[in-house]
Amino acid sequence: MRIHDTGDLWWKNAVIYCLDVETFMDWNDDGVGDLPGLVQRLDHLADLGVTCLWLMPFYPTADYDDGYDIADFYGVDPRLGHAGDLVEVIRTAKDRGIRVIVDLVVNHTSEKHPWFQSARKSKDSPYRDFYVWRSDKPPSTKDKVVFPDKETGIWTKDDATGEWYRHTFYHQQPDLNTANPQVRDAIAKVIGYWAELGLSGFRVDAVPFFLADAAKTPGDTVEDKHDFLKELRSFLTRRVGDAILMGEVNLPYAEQKQYFGGDGADSDQLTLQFDFIGMQNLYLALARQDARPIAKALDDRPEIPHDAQWATFVRNHDELTLDKLSKDEKQEVFDAFGPDPDMQLYDRGLRRRLPTMLGGDPRRIRMVYSLLFSLPGTPVLFYGEEIGMGENLAAEGRMAVRTPMQWTSGENGGFSRAPKRKLAGPVTEGGFSPEHVNVADQRRDPDSLLSFVQLLIRRYRECPELGWTTRAEILDQPHPAVLAHRSTWDDGSLVALHNLGAEPAMVPLRFPDYDDTVALVDLLQDGSCTIDARGATEVELDGYGYRWLRVVREGDRRLI
């Protein structure tokens, strides 16, 4: 096994951890998390096994969209610290073996951004064409609204000039016009600026939206919207050779493939893409206690360039979108995990975290995270998942899952010593409150979810075949509730089994390429499975059980 390859393409078997500085750790006790607080908690991430930290927006903001309405692409929100504090985060993380990437939000700016402040004053402003305008009254665009609870269309009239500006998201977030070469140059400069501070790349927000205008100027050098994405990737690679672009592209697989770079051997656009199709089918499978939707999604994944990767996840910072499921399938998931309308959002997703959706059942929670780390790809964790945090439905919309991190059982979960009224968000209450769910208690408990996730991360990092296999091989077996798959790369191979049902199962497997000189050694518990001369074996699974079985041959020198 060419283990050194895993260092060159580090993202193919990384463990990525997403957090919002504002809700992670408040070090000056003003109620808002800050960069000095994050530095103090980097050892928690290192101990967990995280290799890449993804920071949600920390830029100056009007804070209408939780920091995604950016007023200065080159600054740091003064509530969170300053640029020097960010450099200390990057430097200290690097010392702990953790790379840092940040959100690149270039589909739009805040209406408070100086560019838009100038653009809206006059049609002759040098920044006028940085945004998308129309002089005639637009038709109804109610069907194109991303946030139907707040907006009725994607065009808003600006009184100063009497024209309408486009905003795919909130009206406080005017869309940037990437058909304008000056805008594209400005975006590249933003990337270059932050790359110089030592970042290892960017998570690119709403990729299809920000590329939408990129090829709309006749005679422009950009003839296809993907040309602009190629330019950005090439620019970043010149500046930082092993930096990544991890994109949010919630599209069908066939369209996602184009954002990696099509059929070429090497990716020349996005380095990683989130597997939204796989995630949504995971929840459908959990609702049905039937693994076949996951197996189908894995089979449907297109072939991607050898240096590209899928980013797998159970939860992220937005609503748990189910938009790629059919209406009936979406309803199945709603009925199982969010039957109360208050748990749902935009008629397309859920604003809950996994532990509450599964009723706090530790068997199912652990099985799901075992499944996540065993899937081919790079796992992405949202802060608090490692301890089983829940949501607070009293918070508005998506903020239900963006509650303060729960460090201790003390006041405000150890996040801040400020009065509750000053906190960046309400702390989770009830059975998932800090009294019951926190880092400090779980650090001392070898049977805690935190300890289990640490084990999963260690085993995942020891099994590069999970990140480097070209695709999962779905193994034939008779139980619909069971997913059995094999990941192979070079001379390494791992067989994973997960039981999505409550009933135990004895799973027969057949490996025509193995014989009785091969053993399957369990990596998550003591034990192994023998294979007979015909390549047959049986694997016992508890209800909601899981097994990671490394294929071990005579003379194998890999450590178990």
Q: pLDDT tens for residues 28-43?
A: 999 999 999 999 999 9
**pLDDT value at position 3?**
78
pLDDT on residue 113: 98
144-202: pLDDT as tens digits: 999 998 999 999 999 999 999 999 999 999 999 999 999 999 999 999 999 999 999 99
Confidence of residue 6 (pLDDT cuts 50, 70, 90): confident
Which residues share a beta bridge with 559? none
User: What's the average model confidence in pLDDT over 267-296?
Assistant: 98
Percent of the chain clearing pLDDT 70 (strictly above): 100
For the domain 4-107+181-460, what is the CATH code? 3.20.20.80
Residue 303 designated active-site: no
Mean pLDDT computed over every residue of the chain: 96
pLDDT of residue 71 exceeding 80: yes
| Mean of pLDDT values over 253-258 | 96
Report the 3 state secondary structure along 312-351. EECCCCCCEECCCCCHHHHHHHHHHHCCCHHHEECCCEEC
What is the helix (H) or strand (E) element at residue 115, kind and residue range? helix 114-119
pLDDT for the residue numbered 86:
98
> Is residue 357 a contact partner of residue 337, using CB atoms and an 8 Å limit?
yes
Structure confidence at residue 116 (pLDDT): 98
Cα separation of 292 and 114, whole Å? 51
Kindly state the average pLDDT of the residues 254-278: 93
For residues 223-237, average pLDDT: 96
- Set 22, 65, 77, 205: catalytic member: 205
pLDDT class of 219 with cuts at 50, 70, 90: confident
**CA-based R_g, the chain, Å:** 24
**Does 547 have pLDDT greater than 80?**
yes
Domain ranges (residues) in the chain: 4-107+181-460, 114-166, 472-553
Asked if the model's pLDDT at residue 209 lies above 60, the reply is: yes
DSSP, residue by residue, 351-400 = ---HHHHTTT-HHHHHHHHHHHHHSSSEEEEETTGGGT----TTS-GGGG
Angstrom distance (rounded) from CA 550 to CA 541: 16
- Split at pLDDT 50, 70, 90, the class of 1 is low
The reply to whether 205 belongs to the active site is: yes
Say what the pLDDT of residue 386 is. Answer: 98
Per-residue pLDDT averaged across 503-530, rounded? 95
Residue 299, H or E segment = helix 292-300
- How large a percentage of the chain has pLDDT more than 90? 95
4-107+181-460 against 114-166: fold identical: no
Superfamily holding 114-166 = Oligo-1,6-glucosidase; Domain 2 (3.90.400.10)
Question: Structure tokens of 471?
Answer: 């695709």
User: Which of the following is catalytic: 248, 385, 391, 465?
Assistant: 248
pLDDT at 27: 98
Query: Which whole number is the average pLDDT over 292-304?
Result: 97
The CATH H-level superfamily of 472-553 is Golgi alpha-mannosidase II (2.60.40.1180)
Residue 361 has pLDDT above 90, yes or no: yes
pLDDT, tens digit (0-9, with 9 covering 90-100), for 414-446: 999 999 999 999 999 999 999 999 999 999 999
pLDDT of residue 264: 74
**Cβ-contact 65, 22 below 8 angstroms:** no
User: DSSP readout, 423-479?
Assistant: SSSPPP-GGGSTTTS-HHHHHT-TTSHHHHHHHHHHHHHH-THHHH-SS-EEPP-S-
Q: What is d(CA 151, CA 147) in angstroms, rounded to the nearest whole number?
A: 6
**Cα dihedral value 520, 522, 527, 533, nearest 10:** -10
- Name the percent of the chain in helix, strand, coil, to the closest 5: 35, 20, 50
Q: For strand 482-489 and strand 492-499, is the pairing parallel, antiparallel, or unpaired?
A: antiparallel
Closest CA to 210 of 102, 108, 67, 127: 108
Res 408 pLDDT > 80: yes
Provide the token pair at 149. Answer: 């609870």
CA 89: distance to chain centroid?
21
